Structure formats: C-alpha cells, structure tokens
A and B are shown apart, each in its own frame.
Chain A
Amino acid sequence: MISLAATLRLALQALVRNRSRSLLTMLGVVIGVAAVIVTVAIGTGAKTSVANQINGLGSNLVIVIPGSVQTSGARTGNGGASTLTVQDGLAIAKLPGVSAVSPSVNVRAQLVTGGQNWQTTVTGVAPTYTTVRSWDVSSGRFFSQPETDEAAKVAVLGQTVVHQLFPDGSDPIGRTVLVRGVPFTVIGLLSAKGQSGAGQDQDDTALIPYTSALERLTGGTTISTLMVSAVDGDHIESVQSQITGLLEQRHGIVGGKADDFQVRNLQDIAQAASATASILGLLLAAVAAVSLLVGGIGIMNIMLVSVTERTREIGLRVALGARSAAILRQFLIEAVVLSTGGGAIGVVFGIAGAAAIAVFAHWPSSVSVSAVLLALAFSAAVGVFFGYWPARKAARLDPISALRFE
C-alpha cells in the first residue's frame, strides 16, 4: 500500500508538471482569501477604534444638549436652542446616581502668543471635566474649583494647540496666551487624545473655567453642553430619565410640548456605531466568502479538466497497481494543495493589503491570528469539498477505456 507521504509527493509532482496552470488555478482562492483577510482586518480595526474612542470619551457618560427651537415657524437643528444654563447643571449634580457634572461652553477664538497665533475651539468647563471625560493633564495641573469660582484667567492647552503656539518646543506652562485679546496664563497641558470617531482632532482645543468663558468671552449665561457622569453603568438609564424630568420641570415643559433639550447616552451611541461596523464587516465578509466560493468552483473546474486530460495517466496508474483509493487520495490532495497553497499566498497578500490600507488610507486595521487560521482552514475545506467530485471521477475511471483514451 502506498503511504500518505508518497501520495503527497505524487500529487506535488503532478502539480509541478503543470506549474502555470496550478498557479492560475490557485489565483481564485488567493484573491478570495486575501479579500477575507483584508475585510476582516478592516472590520475588526474599525470596531476596536470605535470602542476605543467611545471609552476615551469617558465611561458612563450622559450628554445633555439643547434641542431645536421653533421661532416663527422656522425650526433650528438640535443645539440651536440656547436653553441650558449653569443652574441646570448645578441642579443635575444633586440628582442621585450622578457622580459629576461639567458644563461646556464652546467658543471659536483666535489664540495669540508672542509670535504665533492659532484659531481653535476654546471650551469653558468645570474642574470635574477631567473625571467626566476621563482626560487628564500630561504636565502642569488642571484648574481648581476656587479658580472656577473667581473666573480666573487660566488655561489648559491641548497638544495640537501647544504645537501650533509653541513650535520651538519651549515649555508653555506659565506663559501668557491671548484669547480674543484677554490674557490667560497656561497652567497645564492635556494628554494627547487623537482623532474622534468623526475624524475630529480632539487635541485641537484649549480649556478654561466655564465661568471665565461666560464672563470674559461670551458674556451670556447659556452653555453648549452638559456632560454628566453616572456613578456606574447601571445608573445610566435612571440618571437619563431623572435629568429629563428635572429639566422639563425647570424649563416649564408640560403636556405634549416638545423638550427644548436632548439627553443622550454614550453607550447607545457606542452600540449603534459598533453595530454599524459589524454590519459593514459582515457584508464585506460575505463578499469575500463568495469570492472564495468562486475560487473553489474554479478549482473544481480545472480539476475536472485535469481528470479528463490525464485519463491515460490514470489508466496507467491503475495498471501499475494503484488502488482506486490511492487515485482518489492523490486527486483530492492535489485539490487541497491548490486551495491551501492559494490560501497561504492569499494570507500573505491579505496581510500586506491590510497594512497598506492602514498606511495609505489611515484606516485602522488589525489582522488577527484567528482570521488567518480560519481563512486557511476554510480554503482547505474548499479544496476537499470542490476536489472530491473530480477525484471520485478519476478513481472510478475504467482502466481499459482510460488506457485506450486518445
């Protein structure tokens, strides 16, 4: 009886004898597997980066934004109303289940130092902001409650602003920055945060006490956003409904009147985002699986042609003493070698492709070992599945007519 190793050698010899055809046959699987690897890498990468960004925003976060308002028939979009006040924030902070609240007052402003200037979003916040956003300073310090109470002219700069205003690399702490002409002292620098899910540079910001922003920059009392941190994940829903009740009461919204604010839960946003990423990944994977299937059909097609073409050879092998099981095994191994070889080449191309997409398209991608193993196992299975029929056909050939075959 012929050993498996010897059969493998016979199969490899047969494939090498038809080198170019073997390579072309592999092509379908190469493309299929490369597509699987790339799409899974992109899908996984997108999901992890969404998750990272959501976590980066601070866990257990509830965001309150002004709703739309209707002025003489024309409705503004969400955030168009200027209805949220500092007092709303203070009231929310007293709700059970709330651990911290920080208002945000956003102001587009030109920042000027000695020789440089830079336009950025100056955000007035409370000291609790570091907790709420889980975002700390990398050097210096954040402003304190007393500084907030007295509307101190102090600022904490994001990394992008630091680079723009202090390109020579000198230490910004203790320096003075003019914000709309008002001098602020830099007391701290924020740690780098990178891009947001929407592709915004989160480090392009400067934080000042919200009191300073209201008194010295906007001159009003309304705020852009309230960021509320629940004590833990289980309290998010109750905090949301309490905020809604409280604000409706404070804003005098009764009956069927529309709220002039919106309460959003970051977890929901996160889930929606990752669900979108999953569906995208699933779609891509389906496309990839179809191309792998087409590759498998290609293998079956070529193997069938090969069996017909090699009819005489098969007859000869039978005459020389090959059992039909040995013929079956050889052709099956040929198909599996083609598909798995194609799979291995596809993995190499897939990893290279994922890396290229990460570099050139700035799209996060991560190739997982399990995706590689799965792709290889799947391509081997494709070989067995699509190789079996041609192999059985070869094994069942009548040796005499096979030998007579022209």
Chain B
Amino acid sequence: MTPVVEVRGLRKVYAIEGGEDVVALRGVDLTIDPGEFVAVMGPSGSGKSTFMHIVGLLDRPTAGTYRFAGHEVSSLDADALADLRSRALGFVFQAYNLLPRTTAMENVELPMIYAGVPADKRRRAALEALDAVGLGRYAHHQPNQLSGGQQQRVAIARSIVNQPQLILADEPTGALDTASSEDVMALFGRLNVERGMTVMVVTHEADVAAHARRMVMFRDGNIVSDEPVREKALV
C-alpha cells in the first residue's frame, strides 16, 4: 500500500533578517498510511504548524524529501501544487475561515469551483458533504447564523467535498468549547472509520488528541514519540 505521506529528513529553517536562523524542523521522518487518524501534538513553537504546511503543500522544506501518495513533490511548480491541493487535500483551520455573507452551501462549493467541477455536480456534492457533517438543514444559512461548532463542521464539509486523500486540521478545536470540541473530533473519527478518510489533526490538547488512533509528539522540531493511542476510556 502506497503511503499518503512519506517524509524523510525534513528540515525547515527560517532565515531571520539581522538575527539567528530559526530551525523549525530538524530532520523529521514520518509515514502516514491511507486510513490513518493521526494526532500531531507538542508544545507551542515545536514545529507542528510548519510540518502541517509542508505536508499540505503550502510550503516547501529547506531539506529532505516528501513523497505525497507516492509522488515526489519537490519538483512540482506552484500551479501543480495548487492543483494537487485542490484535488487531493482538505484543510480545516482553527478560525474556520468561512467566507462571510456566503451560505454554507456556497462555502462548501468553493474547493470544487477551483477544481473545475460543473455546477450541478457541485450542488449535489455540497449537499451530501453537509449531510455527512449533520448540517444538511443549514445549507442556506450564513456563517453568522451558525454557532462556532456548526461553522467548524461546515469547514469540515468543505474539506471533504473533493474526496481528498488527506485531511489536515490545524488546531480545529482551538476556538471551541468542550462540547463542540468533542463533536468536531467525533466527526473526524466517524469520517475516518466510516469513510476510510486519512486525517491528520494538529493540537496541543491531550483530550482532543485522544480521539485519534495514533499520536505523534513534536518537541523543538523533532518527533520525540510516535505511538498508538490507548483506549479512550483510559485517558
């Protein structure tokens, strides 16, 4: 089985003008297979977001190799990366990042517009994705008419609508209360189990990470532990 993500010796160095370089990643090796649900944990500044941006093809590493779904991506140009993001990746952010004054439906349609999906198919897929996150009835609501948890679920619907090979979520519960956080993480769990979607969630909260089935711990730009999550009851 071809891994979805295969990184070797991944380094990322930020050159700071008039200061010392910041090494955000110091040679990270990681493989994520299809169908995995991985939580990336670690203290603030440990390199989690940097790692996610590289995995999400939004940024390039300073050194190391990255094969996405078996393809070396370092040789791809910006347009090819954009097309790959559009087809094969789904993003969920801490701040939801929904377009304001735009219905849930239209927000979910957005990635399909960039993928060039025809309008009628877009509408069907958007409704289906909203149903999958339990918001079918809210298709014509605008973000300001939805709670934070509901907005984040719209964002999740948006991330799955193109049937991506990998869903990336950076602190998706960071702005939510405990109950909504549970809802959102349970939703990722269901998408992983029922639809076999590959999910990587970045978080610094242990009880959020406990929803995943594998936990990768970052510290100072290195992976310090990588192990299966124990049964939820034990957390």
Contact = CB atoms under 8 A, between A and B. Distances in A.
B82 A318 contact: yes
Nearest to A319: B91
Interface in A293-329: 312-313, 315-326
A2 B78 CA distance: 16
Task: Tell me the interface secondary structure of chain A in the complex.
Answer: helix
A6 interface: yes
A10 interface: yes
Given A320-B86, A323-B78, A2 B113 contact: yes
Contacts of B58: 318-319, 399-400, 403
B231 interface: no
A170 interface: no
A52 to B, nearest CB: 55
Contacts of A2: 113-114, 116
Given A6-B113, A318-B58, A323-B83, A17 B78 contact: no
Nearest to B155: A316
Interface string A347-361: 000000000000000
A326 B106 contact: no
B111 A320 contact: yes
B101 interface: yes
Interface string B97-109: 1011110001000
Contacts of A9: 113
B124 to A, nearest CB: 17
Nearest to A326: B114
Contacts of B114: 2, 317, 320-323, 326
Nearest to B95: A312
Contacts of A403: 58, 93, 97
Contacts of B11: none
A1 interface: yes
A13 interface: yes
B85 interface: yes
Given A399-B58, A400-B53, A321 B101 contact: no
A403 B99 CA distance: 13
Given A312-B97, A400-B53, A321 B111 contact: yes
A238 B151 CA distance: 90
B69 interface: no
Contacts of A324: 78-79, 82
Contacts of A321: 82-87, 89, 111, 114-115
B72 interface: no
Interface residues of B, number: 29
Nearest to B85: A321
Contacts of A399: 58
A216 B91 CA distance: 104
A323 B84 CA distance: 10
A320 B88 CA distance: 10
B47 interface: no
A72 interface: no
B149 interface: no
B172 interface: no
A6 B110 CA distance: 10
B59 interface: yes
Contacts of B111: 320-321
A325 B79 CA distance: 9
Nearest to B54: A400
B100 A323 contact: no
Contact of B99 (A17, A326, A400): A17
B42 interface: no
A67 B66 CA distance: 99
Contact of A10 (B85, B86, B113): B113
B221 interface: no
A1 B100 contact: no
A200 interface: no
A13 B101 CA distance: 9
A32 B190 CA distance: 58
Nearest to A312: B97
Interface string B55-75: 010110000000000000000
A3 B87 CA distance: 16
Which of B89, B99, B114, B115 is most buried by chain A, counting CB atoms within 10 A of its CB?
A: B114
Contacts of A13: 102, 106
B59 A3 contact: no
Contact of B102 (A1, A6, A17): A17
Interface in B40-59: 53, 56, 58-59
Q: Enumerate the 10 nearest inter-chain pairs by beta-carbon distance, A residue then B residue, closest first.
A: A321-B86, A321-B114, A323-B82, A320-B111, A321-B85, A17-B101, A316-B97, A319-B91, A322-B114, A323-B79
Interface of A: 1-3, 6, 9-10, 13, 17, 312-313, 315-326, 399-400, 403
28 contacts: A1-B83, A1-B116, A2-B114, A3-B116, A9-B113, A17-B99, A17-B101, A17-B102, A312-B95, A313-B99, A316-B99, A318-B82, A318-B85, A319-B56, A319-B58, A319-B85, A320-B111, A321-B82, A321-B86, A321-B111, A323-B82, A323-B83, A323-B114, A324-B79, A399-B58, A400-B53, A403-B93, A403-B97
Given A321-B114, A403-B93, 6 more contacts: A312-B97, A319-B91, A320-B85, A321-B89, A323-B82, A325-B79
Interface of B: 53, 56, 58-59, 78-79, 82-87, 89, 91, 93, 95, 97, 99-102, 106, 110-111, 113-116, 158
